[in-house]
Structure 1
Amino acid sequence: MMHAERSMKIMMLVLCLSLLAIGVKASSSWSLCSSTEDYRVAVKDVSINPDPVIRGNDALFDIPAVAKETIEGGTVSLQVYYLGMRVHSEQDDLCVRTTCPISPGEFSIQSKEALPSYTPPGAYRLDMRIHNLDGDLLSCLKINFRISAPDTFLGF
């Protein structure tokens, strides 16, 4: 009887630790808007810190990329979706998010976003389009991420 009780406690501990590991993994993912398009800016990765994003705090988006040509400047357009509805749009100067001109080769686009404390927790999608000064599309990506409340456990 004592052995069965001990085994049950160990199984419960393993189950709880497994659920904890599942809950704290990174919750973001990204993809190009088109898998067949030959973008002039090749995005290598997207990292978000913290992941998941905590409402009421800053979130840092870092996007390392490779430019296939010199880029004198342009725009970064963002559209944020929550529950399938667009909840935020903005357009910024590309040179605010990175150093211009961008020479062919590796560079990084960075953005620090302050999220209001009233931001609803849940799954979000950010669509990002990068255009040059002539309005030509240089790259397009979709970023899926989660926003959590600071007082919740495991981001739920």
Structure 2
Amino acid sequence: MASNRRRFLVFLAAVVALLLLLPDSSATDVEYCSSGRDYPVKVSGVEIVPDPVVSGQPATFKISASTGRSITRGKLVIDVKYFFFHVHSESHDLCEETSCPATGEFVLAHQQTLPSITPPGSYTITMKLLGDTNKELTCITIGFSIGFISPLAVI
């Protein structure tokens, strides 16, 4: 475990120099993983607070969704990529992220505090909502950025 963390820190240090050369983009793009697929859960919007995300401070991802089903259990699977590199995965009980049963319109809210050493730049999150039999109910990708400077540091 410590070896993986050490490799990740070395990787982060190596790409920080590259990041300083790239422009910072704070646009949030949301797309379904498979554009032609008819997912049982429809996503109508995503709100990221703060935007851009600040390393070392909590960030909240709120996903507005709707379904014609009654979803009583399942899981939210999150995968994070930094540019094209996979950097993190986690899974959460659906009923910890929204109230169950999820029916009609509902909001999935996930809060995460990124380590203060997280480099600024462009990230992509893939979020899958899986039902109780691991059937994919929806899958979206969210583009977001981590800013170069904390907004509080400017004041």
- Which of the five TM-score ranges fits, normalised by the shorter chain? 0.7 to 0.9
**1:134 lines up with 2:126 in the alignment:** no
Task: Give the match for residue 17 of structure 1.
Answer: none
Matched, 1:50 2:50: yes
- Larger strand fraction of residues: 2
Q: 1:112 matched to which residue of 2?
A: 111
Distance 2:150 2:36 in 1: 42
Contact map agreement 1:55 1:150 (CA 8 A) in 2:
no
* 8 Å Cα contact 2:75/2:130 also seen in 1: yes
Which amino acid in 2 is paired with 1:145? F
Higher-Rg structure is 1
> SS of the residue aligned with 2:95?
helix
Equivalent residue, structure 1, for 2:78: 78
Matched, 1:100 2:100: yes
Shift of 1:83: 2.3
Number of positions where the alignment pairs a residue of Structure 1 with one of Structure 2: 129
TM-score (norm 2): 0.78
Consecutive unaligned residues of structure 2, counting only runs of 5 or more, are 1-22
CA RMSD of aligned residues (A): 1.8
User: Given the two structures, how large is their TM-score scaled by the length of structure 1?
Assistant: 0.78
1:86-141 deviations in Å (ceiling 9; x for gaps): 100001101110001112x1000001111111001000000011000011110000
Aligned-residue sequence identity (percent) comes to 38
Contact 1:28–1:52, Cα closer than 8 Å, also in 2:
no
Structure 1 equivalent of residue 28 of structure 2: 28
Pair 1:67 & 2:61 matched = no
Does the residue aligned with 1:95 lie in a helix, a strand or coil? helix
